[in-house]
Amino acid sequence: MWGILGIEGGITVEMNEQEQKQIISRLRRLSGQAKSLETVLMSGDNTKFVGQLQAVIAASQATLSQYATYKLIGSEDEADKKLLERLIRRS
């Protein structure tokens, strides 16, 4: 399965199935980390909670970076360009 990324120099840029699988895998790991936050919070272990929350934030940032690389960079779509600009401003 191929997802269209955009047009670069008149050539269609695509996100291949392997790239989609990598992002899905990251999202599943992120989901598991996020779900464990409630358990860690209820345990009262501040060190574990902060560490787990930091891991969720880092995983989210890595996923966003990977998505931007595959879907936004090189896209000629104006909406994609605006999203990329927004990401750059906030980093």
CATH 1.25.40.10, applies to 3-90: no
Residue whose pair of structure tokens reads 């990329």 in the numeric block = 84
5 CB neighbour count, 10 Å cutoff: 21
Q: What is the dihedral of CA 19, 25, 30, 35, to 10 degrees?
A: 150
Over residues 43-87, the pLDDT tens digits come to: 999 999 999 999 999 999 999 999 998 888 888 889 999 999 998
Whole-angstrom CA distances from 7 to 19, 29, 40 are 18, 31, 45
Burial class (CB in 10 A: 0-12, 13-18, 19+), 73: middle
* Cα 68-22-56 angle, rounded to 5 deg: 75
Over residues 12-44, the pLDDT tens digits come to: 456 788 999 999 999 999 999 999 999 999 999
